[in-house]
């Protein structure tokens, strides 16, 4: 038996707004709204979907699961995400030169963006 990742789900106090924000950021599309309590976003050319589910209040502290994304131009993408409402949390560089930036979406959920390998 093997498992297949079907969806990555994020808790949210306003799933529809956050789902629409993420759909815009990754070029996806909201495909199910479910009266705003469970929102599904399809991603272009990716079999995994993003989902945002309504919760009364988010889990305190850093989220237990996060998205790792890559971009052809890391600095330009970080600037674009900040202009769209994300907050930069930390900029990381390993001794090997590998660099990624941790950001928070409009509800404070952390995600990382790294430089895509060329």
Q: How far apart are CA 58 and CA 69, in angstroms?
A: 22
The closest of 107, 113, 12 to 67, measured between CA atoms, is 113
Q: Does the predicted TM-score (pTM) go above 0.85?
A: no
pLDDT tens per residue, range 92-116 = 998 888 899 999 999 999 999 998 8
Q: Which two tokens stand for residue 58?
A: 């988010």
Domains of the chain: 1-56 (3.10.180.10), 66-118 (3.10.180.10)
pLDDT of 78 strictly over 80: yes
The closest of 53, 51, 29 to 42, measured between CA atoms, is 29
- CA quadruple 32, 15, 27, 42: dihedral positive or negative? negative
pLDDT of 3 strictly over 90: no
Q: Which two tokens stand for residue 99?
A: 């660099």
Q: How far apart are CA 51 and CA 40, in angstroms?
A: 4
pLDDT band at 51 (very low <50, low <70, confident <90, very high): very high
The closest of 55, 63, 16 to 35, measured between CA atoms, is 16
């Amino acid at each position: 038996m093997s498992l297949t990742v079907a969806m990555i789900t994020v808790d949210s106090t306003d799933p529809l707004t956050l789902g629409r924000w993420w759909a815009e950021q990754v070029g996806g599309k909201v495909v199910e709204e479910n009266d705003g309590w469970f929102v599904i976003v399809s991603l272009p050319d990716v079999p995994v979907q993003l989902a945002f589910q309504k919760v009364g209040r988010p889990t305190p502290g850093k989220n237990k699961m996060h998205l790792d994304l890559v971009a052809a131009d890391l600095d330009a993408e970080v600037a674009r995400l900040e202009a769209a409402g994300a907050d930069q949390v930390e900029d990381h560089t390993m001794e090997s030169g590998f660099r990624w930036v941790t950001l928070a979406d409009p509800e404070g959920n952390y995600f990382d963006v790294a430089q895509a390998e060329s």
